[in-house]
Structure formats: C-alpha cells, structure tokens
A and B are shown apart, each in its own frame.
Chain A
C-alpha cells in the first residue's frame, strides 16, 4: 500500500541532521533530502555511499594523457616531423620533454570536462530538464525530508513532528 511519501519541512540544518539520524534509527526509509546549501555531515547521516566521481576523474585523466601522447606523436613526429629546439627529428623519446605541458593540459581538460558531464548525467541534469524540486522554498531557506510513509503514515508523521518538522504534507510517490 505504500505509494505515499511524507514531505517534512525543517527550518534548521542542525535539527535536520539530528532528525535524519532519528528517522533512520526508527527503521523508516528516507527517499531524498532537499537543502538550499550543502549540509556538513548530511551524507554520512543519510548513509549515502561514497561518490565514485573521483575514480571516473582518474580514468578520464588517463584517457587524456594517452590522447595527448598519441596526438603529439602524430602531429610532431609521424605526420610532419618538426624540428624542436634542434633535437633529433623522428624520435618521440628525445622530444618528449617539450610535450609534457600538453600532456598535463590534456589530462586536466579531459578529467575536468568529462567529470562535470558525468556528474550532470548521473544527477539527471541535462538541457531542457524540468526542475524536480517539490518545493521552491528549499532553494532559498527551508529543508525538506521525503520519508516513505510505509504502512502507518500517522506514526511516521508524529515521529517527524517530534523530531522538529515544521510542516508535513502527504503526497503520492513521484
């Protein structure tokens, strides 16, 4: 029967973090929390898994540096050999130091851009995407916790009231 969720509004981040801990301790499932700014320690309190974005960044960096190595070899050695400070032509190894700045820049470029794009995709933010925020006030000054209503919506509501919610609203699951 549980296709309802309870949207509880809080007006203080410390109260919110304490409430999140208590709601989870009581065995209820928190769907999502909306905050106007990043709240210190909220991810730990909600029991969210560590982000894997850093791993993707490392992979993108490796792709970037490999691309730079290939690109400079193609441009400066293979396709049209260039004279680089009088060093021997047709040799990647002996011209490598002059390519290091490009490798560095490519690593940063790939890691940064692809990481941002990955973050957008993972957060389902892409062009023309409608905002999925249930209450616009959570973008300015209020905090909202969405709790699965479960079998007993009244019990969950009274628990939320007790831990400091200022407003409660029961809505259908979206």
Chain B
C-alpha cells in the first residue's frame, strides 16, 4: 500500500493556494474599461513595442478604407471623423475583450490540458484492457489513479464552458453578438449554438466519467474476488469506451477548441489534439511510475516496462509530428486565405517563438534522445525527455487556444502560472490520494504473472 506522505500533501496544497492567488490576481488586475486599454496602448506606443505600432497601422488602414467608402457622401469629412472615432472605439473594445479573456484563457488552457491528460490515460488504460495486453498490468493502478483526475477537471471544464456560454467572457467569438452578422457563422448555427454546445459537452464529459467509474470499480472488485466475471466485464466496458471515445472526441475537440477560430477548419484537428495529448498521457504515466519506483514502491516494475513506455513516448512523438506536419503543410502549400489565417499568428506573428520552440521540444529533442535503445533504460535521461515532451505539449495547447482568445496581447504571466500551478497541485493531490486508496498491484488480474515476468529481449 502506498501512503500519501504529508510532505507531498503540503506541497500540493501550497501549489493549489499559489495557483488560486495567481488566478485571482489575473482576474482583478486586468483593464476594466476602454480607458484603461487606451492607457496601455499609449504606453506601448511610446515604448518600442512592435505589435503596438502594428495595431496603430491597422487603425490607419481602417481609416483609409473608410475614406474610400465615404467618398460619395456629401459631408464626408464629418462622417469620416465620426466613423473613424467609432472604429477606434471598436478596436479598443476588441483589445479590452482580449485583455479580459486572458485569465479565462489561461484557466481554460490548464483545465483542458489536464482534463485531456486524464482522459487519454483512460484511453491508454482501456487499450490495455481491450487488447488484453500482458505487459502493463503492474502499471494498472498508476494509470487508474491518474484517471481519477478526470472527475475534478471535468467539473472545472464544464464550469468554464457554462460561464463562457452565459457571457462572462469573450472566449468563443461565435457566441458573441456579432455572430448573427457573419454569413459563415449563421450557416454553422445549426451545429454551433449555445444550447447544443452545452448539451453535447455535458453528454461527452459525463459519458467518459461513467466509463471511468465502472472500469475502476471492476478493477478493484477483481482484486477482492479473482473472478473472470469482472475481467470480462471490464474488457467489454473498455471496448465500449474506445468506440464511444473515438466518435465523441472528434466532436468534443471540434466544439471546444476548433470553434475558437470559427472560420477555420481542419479535418485532421481532432487527431492532432489526440496525438498531442496521447504522448503527454504516456509520459505522465512514466513520470509517476518512475517517481513511485524511486520511493521504493512498485517492486515488480522492471526496466522492460520503463523501456516500453519509452518506446510509446518515442512513437507517439513521431505520430504527433506527422499529424502536425500534415495539417501544416497542406494549408501552407495551398495558401488559401481562410486556411492560412490560422497559421499567420503562429508561424509569422507574435507566437513564432513558442511555435518553433514547441517543434524542437516535441519533435527534435524526443527524436534524438529516445531513438537510442540504451537511453530508454536510464531513468534520468528518459525523465528529462519526458519533461521536454510535457512542457512542449503544454506550449502546444497554449498556442492552440491563445491566438484565438487573447491574440497578440499574450504573455506567460501570473494568471498563466497560477492556472498551471493550481491544476498541477490538484493533480498531485488527487492522483496520489487515489494511489493510497488501493493496493499498488492489481493482484486479481489473470495476466499479472505475465506482467511480472515481462522481459524485453534486448535487456
């Protein structure tokens, strides 16, 4: 049995408190109205901030366009002055919304990231059941404990979605008042409307949680009474979950993150997010396992199990890179305005540095480090590669969401760190609490023996 040490508990609670403070600061320190925004923009203009000048350039452009529009009007100087002022006000409001979105967006990114990690660990766990894999049984309790984080993150994510739908922020543009003026959004409205959005999100998230509840329940029951009944039941639930998941994940990701850029679309997007979070999920399993092993738990986990998780990390990193490049190259090559609009802030705009950095962290480094069979057995090296992957995919999710919600006004400040620390602390608290609740070995599983003896031929 694992005991949740009070030291780790205090650490996790400290992280949660720090996180709440950071988020609260983010919510209260932002600009309240357009006057505050004007001050910030002016301050930026006096400085040498590149994108502030870009903003003012845009204003000039908008102004000159209006000159053309209003040429026909007789008293055009008056109208021009008037619309110009309106335009300026509109721009200020737009920037204000971006600033107001920032703490929400930071919270959303962290909630989505941790929710998807817990969910994809559940998927990985279900694959082990459905495939009747023998090697991974010694890791089952670790995986189950990470999936325990699904319920709290579901709560926070649903809370965020409900608040966004009720108009507390401007994260989803298609929910705003301008959506009815947009022909594309009007056409998409039968699918992309607030009621449908909430109902679908609720069904998907509740469904996943129900599957998780029964998988865990049967797994524990199998420990007490080693009966095939529970084993078969869990096999069926796992197969059912995988079927349910692969359909619902598509629509969930379309709804929750792809609709942030409601004009842009990519059929590969759900698989891209899937690959991104799958590699993070496997890495999370590995890091928790290595941590527990360093504390003297999990005596049956040997080098071969660690090596296998390393192979999955390597494989899914390449899988992610493949999807990333597929999605990028087709749209880069064809150069359609409605598609390239997604890539401009990322590839050429203010997100260029994290965008390129993420490619190095998620593809180049894992590829070069994990390609060696020997490196996959050294805990220090594989954990380092794992940290690169986790940081890289956090940045990946950050630039998946941020350009649409805060635009060029992004930074990694108090609210971003606060949200990350809050969920990280909660993760430690929930996962290690669940680990302490049940024996660390799934003894009742009929394949346990095979897992204990698992041996990779080249070790």
Residues of A within 8 A of B (CB): 40-41, 50, 54, 58, 84-86, 97-98, 100-101
| Contacts A85-B332, A97-B332 known; 12 new A-B pairs at CB < 8 A | A41-B457, A50-B458, A58-B371, A84-B333, A85-B333, A85-B334, A85-B335, A86-B335, A97-B325, A97-B333, A98-B329, A100-B329
Residues on A with C-beta less than 8 A from B457 are: 40-41
| Cβ of A153 to closest chain B Cβ, rounded Å | 34
5 cross-chain pairs, A with B, having the tightest CB-CB distances, nearest first: A85-B333, A97-B329, A97-B332, A85-B335, A98-B333
Q: Which of B328, B333, B373 has the most CB of A within 10 A?
A: B333
| Cβ of B436 to closest chain A Cβ, rounded Å | 39
| Cβ of B118 to closest chain A Cβ, rounded Å | 33
Query: Nearest CB to that of B373 among chain A residues?
Result: A54
Selected A-B contacts with CB under 8 Å, 21 pairs: A40-B457, A41-B457, A50-B458, A54-B373, A58-B371, A84-B333, A85-B332, A85-B333, A85-B334, A85-B335, A86-B335, A97-B325, A97-B328, A97-B329, A97-B332, A97-B333, A98-B329, A98-B333, A100-B325, A100-B329, A101-B329
Residues on B with C-beta less than 8 A from A98 are: 329, 333
| Cβ of A54 to closest chain B Cβ, rounded Å | 7
B298-342 contact mask (Cβ, 8 Å, vs A): 1 or 0: 000000000000000000000000000100110011110000000
Residues of B within 8 A of A (CB): 325, 328-329, 332-335, 371, 373, 457-458
| Cβ of A151 to closest chain B Cβ, rounded Å | 36
Determine the distance from Cα of A65 to Cα of B335 in the docked complex, in whole angstroms: 26
Residues on A with C-beta less than 8 A from B329 are: 97-98, 100-101
Main secondary structure of the interface of B (DSSP, over half): helix
Determine the distance from Cα of A54 to Cα of B325 in the docked complex, in whole angstroms: 26
Determine the distance from Cα of A101 to Cα of B332 in the docked complex, in whole angstroms: 14
Residues on A with C-beta less than 8 A from B334 are: 85
Determine the distance from Cα of A85 to Cα of B335 in the docked complex, in whole angstroms: 7
Determine the distance from Cα of A50 to Cα of B458 in the docked complex, in whole angstroms: 9
Q: How many Cβ-Cβ contacts under 8 Å join chain A to chain B?
A: 21
| Cβ of B381 to closest chain A Cβ, rounded Å | 17
Determine the distance from Cα of A75 to Cα of B157 in the docked complex, in whole angstroms: 51
| Cβ of A14 to closest chain B Cβ, rounded Å | 15
Residues on A with C-beta less than 8 A from B458 are: 50
Query: Nearest CB to that of B332 among chain A residues?
Result: A97
Query: Nearest CB to that of A51 among chain B residues?
Result: B458
Residues on B with C-beta less than 8 A from A84 are: 333
Residues on B with C-beta less than 8 A from A58 are: 371
Q: Which of A54, A58, A97, A101 has the most CB of B within 10 A?
A: A97
Residues on A with C-beta less than 8 A from B328 are: 97
Determine the distance from Cα of A101 to Cα of B329 in the docked complex, in whole angstroms: 10
Query: Nearest CB to that of A54 among chain B residues?
Result: B373
| Cβ of A93 to closest chain B Cβ, rounded Å | 13
Query: Nearest CB to that of A55 among chain B residues?
Result: B372
Residues on B with C-beta less than 8 A from A86 are: 335
Query: Nearest CB to that of B457 among chain A residues?
Result: A40
Determine the distance from Cα of A137 to Cα of B373 in the docked complex, in whole angstroms: 35
Determine the distance from Cα of A98 to Cα of B332 in the docked complex, in whole angstroms: 9
Residues on B with C-beta less than 8 A from A85 are: 332-335
Residues on B with C-beta less than 8 A from A100 are: 325, 329
| Cβ of A41 to closest chain B Cβ, rounded Å | 7
Determine the distance from Cα of A50 to Cα of B372 in the docked complex, in whole angstroms: 13
| Cβ of A72 to closest chain B Cβ, rounded Å | 14
Determine the distance from Cα of A54 to Cα of B374 in the docked complex, in whole angstroms: 12
| Cβ of B335 to closest chain A Cβ, rounded Å | 6
Residues on A with C-beta less than 8 A from B335 are: 85-86
Residues on B with C-beta less than 8 A from A54 are: 373
| Cβ of B453 to closest chain A Cβ, rounded Å | 13
Query: Nearest CB to that of A85 among chain B residues?
Result: B333
| Cβ of B340 to closest chain A Cβ, rounded Å | 11
Determine the distance from Cα of A50 to Cα of B334 in the docked complex, in whole angstroms: 47
| Cβ of B199 to closest chain A Cβ, rounded Å | 40
Residues on B with C-beta less than 8 A from A101 are: 329
Determine the distance from Cα of A100 to Cα of B325 in the docked complex, in whole angstroms: 9
Determine the distance from Cα of A109 to Cα of B458 in the docked complex, in whole angstroms: 26
Query: Nearest CB to that of B347 among chain A residues?
Result: A97
| Cβ of A56 to closest chain B Cβ, rounded Å | 14
Determine the distance from Cα of A98 to Cα of B329 in the docked complex, in whole angstroms: 7
Residues on B with C-beta less than 8 A from A41 are: 457
Determine the distance from Cα of A84 to Cα of B334 in the docked complex, in whole angstroms: 9
Determine the distance from Cα of A155 to Cα of B335 in the docked complex, in whole angstroms: 79
Residues on A with C-beta less than 8 A from B332 are: 85, 97
| Cβ of B29 to closest chain A Cβ, rounded Å | 40
Query: Nearest CB to that of A98 among chain B residues?
Result: B333
| Cβ of A20 to closest chain B Cβ, rounded Å | 16
Residues on A with C-beta less than 8 A from B371 are: 58
Residues on A with C-beta less than 8 A from B373 are: 54
| Cβ of A59 to closest chain B Cβ, rounded Å | 13
Determine the distance from Cα of A54 to Cα of B376 in the docked complex, in whole angstroms: 15
Determine the distance from Cα of A86 to Cα of B332 in the docked complex, in whole angstroms: 11
Determine the distance from Cα of A97 to Cα of B332 in the docked complex, in whole angstroms: 8
Determine the distance from Cα of A54 to Cα of B371 in the docked complex, in whole angstroms: 10
